[in-house]
Amino acid sequence: VSFSVTILGSSSAVPTSERFPSAHLVQAGERFFLIDCGEGTQIQLRRFKIRFGKINHILISHTHGDHVFGLFGLISTLSLLNRTTDLHIYAHPKLKEILDGHLKFFHDAGLPFNIIYHFLNSKKASVIYEDDQISVTAVSLKHRIASKGFIFREKPKPLNVRKEMIGYHQISLKDILKIKNGEDFISKEGKLIPNAQLTRPPFKPRAYAYCSDTAYSEKLIPHLQEIDLLYHEATYGNELAHRAKETAHSTAKQAAEIARKAGVQKLIIGHFSARYKNIEPLLEEAREIFPDTMPANDGMVFEIEKKRLENSGA
């Protein structure tokens, strides 16, 4: 099962010829989540050959234009493509206001699909999406207006029962389920077979966190435990730390500090100010503190690899 993040846009408010405004696509198995939808997102989806119809969930971190201006065009295109599947939008209630005005003006005959709003109005971290594979939690960031980070976590998986053991001990389906949940097994001969001999550890649940836009906030750290991949905005370099503070954004150094303190596996920095034609200095700044840092460039795909948990019993 794939768990990946595609960078559709990596600029901050002002796009450049190389970087579109914020948008990420998260693929978790067969589910596609769009996080933020800056101007031109639909063009990037085309360019990177991602089928529009697969996206059923759009998560909007906050209602600044560079995170939402692509929503209008995307919705128009979905309408022209005769989408009929519900579209779920997770956002601050204010987004509905502006979107309602738009739909009334540009789609007065209505859309061929329903938009189902899920309002992000809790200050506390809360699960906003859950299925049998993954959960998504929204956490409060620190910005000029209400802004949410999104944490995608695969659900813990049961133990894998070794196939050869099922045959050898002629284990019934009912017993297999028990063994998956950690029980030992008593064979026909009455012998106790410890669970560790019957199973392999499952894959470790993978996790991705999107934190943009946000100022440096250590309050995020408890939410970022056991994260494989963290995207943290780094609008500025440390030389503009004062500007980052004024505008409630982060520096590359601060993004790296959060990654290091939370102990994540890998950091992606992005949401770069258009003033940085070359983002190498930002990358170096982050890597001094957190070596496993990558820059977000439009079109990059970050695949989170599966890793087996260690077998406590083996």
Instruction: Identify which of residues 39 and 257 has a Cβ nearer to a second copy in the complex.
Output: 39
In the chain, % helix, strand, coil (3-state, to 5) comes to 30, 30, 40
Stretch binding a second copy (CB under 8 A), from 62-70, 128-136, 232-240, 299-307: 62-70
Tally: H helices and E strands in the chain = 10, 18
Choice between 80 and 314, CB closer to a second copy: 80
Token duo for residue 55: 């996206």
Confirm whether 66 is a catalytic residue: yes
**297 touches a second copy (CB under 8 A):** no
Q: Which of residues 2-31 bind a second copy (CB under 8 A)?
A: 13-17, 20-21
Q: How far apart are CA 37 and CA 258, in angstroms?
A: 25
Position 105 contacts a second copy (CB under 8 A): yes
Question: How far apart are CB 81 and a second copy at their closest, in Å?
Answer: 7
Q: Give the number of other CB atoms < 10 A from CB of residue 164.
A: 9
Q: Does 43 bind a second copy (CB under 8 A)?
A: yes
Count CB atoms within 10 A of the CB of residue 280.
9
Q: Whose Cβ is closer to a second copy: residue 46's or residue 155's?
A: 46
Pick one of 4, 77, 126, 133: the residue that binds a second copy (CB under 8 A): 77
Helix/strand/coil for 41: helix
Question: Each residue of 75-88: b (16+ CB within 10 Å) or e?
Answer: bbebbeeebeeebb
Segment interacting with a second copy (CB under 8 A) among 37-45, 150-158, 224-232, 302-310: 37-45
Q: Is 63 in the site for a second copy (CB under 8 A)?
A: yes
Residue with tokens 């209505």: 110
Task: Considering the candidates 66, 213, 228, 298, report the single residue annotated as catalytic.
Answer: 66
Instruction: Give catalytic residues, as residue numbers.
Output: 66
